[in-house]
Amino acid sequence: MTGYDARMVGNPPELERGTGVPAHVQIERWLLDSISSGDMEPGDRLPGERELAGRLGVSRMTLRQALATLERDGVLVRMPGRAGGAFVAEPRADRDLTGLAGFTEQMRRAHLRAGARILTAATVPAPAAVAAALEVAPGSAVHEVARVRSAGRSPVALERSFFPALPGFLAHDLSGSLYALLADGYGLAPRTAVEHLDPVIAGPAEAAELGVGPGAPLMRVERTAYAADGTPVEHAHDLFRPDRVRITVRSGVT
């Protein structure tokens, strides 16, 4: 995290009175304009509440109302402690479920660098639900790969995927696109998928990996992907941080 922008602190806006626009809304608009114009960048820290409220000529309660709204909308991140404060959040990345582009490809399209930290890469007995999705017998060997995915500098998703026991699969580089590996290495490019979305809360383990507090809201995506001939090639459970990822589904009239 970086320090705050001295130009912003030195030139706060003069809030308009009697216009019908509440002071906290004017503060929200000013901060949004400062971020969109590039005066403030992701990671920049706002001044302390006492200083900023004084320069704006408002109560700390009014300022907190504005900051709370921007935090709720994912524009700011507030952190406790002496080194904490209100910081400009990284912009949210789009995760489009309409097509079947993997995380790596979608981040590339968004001009963000996709990262992967591998937590698990092992051959395991298939749990009942995984076996049913991959159409194998319960307890059959399957490959499990769990990764923390990042966009830019921040962790945004925790992926846990199961694949058929393809020979040599785990010996490949698993830090990139696993869909590209399925396509190029095994001729099993995913072509269709069934996905289910559920809001959940972060347990202690998920929270630690994603850099959020226990109990923080997450979006769970359960997915089974199929090759062109209908062969199931992946069963996955992904957990996304909704403050960093916006999930999109396009629809049309059929």
Q: Residues 230-249: pLDDT tens digits?
A: 999 999 999 998 877 777 77
The answer to whether the CB of 205 falls within 8 A of the CB of 194 is no
pLDDT in tens, 170-197: 999 999 889 999 999 999 999 999 999 9
Residues 6+ apart with CB under 8 A from 120: 144, 145, 146, 160
Pairing of strands 85-88, 245-248: unpaired
- The architecture that CATH gives domain 93-248 is 3-Layer(aba) Sandwich (3.40)
Tokens of 153: 């500098």
Query: pTM score, two decimals?
Result: 0.67
At residue 52, φ and ψ (nearest 5 deg) are: -70, -40
pLDDT in tens, 121-177: 999 999 999 999 999 999 999 999 999 988 766 788 999 999 999 999 999 999 988
Query: C-alpha distances in angstroms, 54 versus 10, 24, 62, 66, 222?
Result: 12, 14, 11, 15, 48
Domain range annotation of the chain: 6-88, 93-248
The pLDDT value recorded for residue 119 is 96
Whether 93-248 and 6-88 are alike in CATH topology: the answer is no
Q: What CA–CA distance (Å, rounded) separates 83 from 78?
A: 11
| Nearest partner of 97 among 225, 207, 202, 209, judged by Cα | 225
Higher pLDDT, 155 or 36: 155
- The architecture that CATH gives domain 6-88 is Orthogonal Bundle (1.10)
| Nearest partner of 237 among 99, 85, 109, 133, judged by Cα | 133
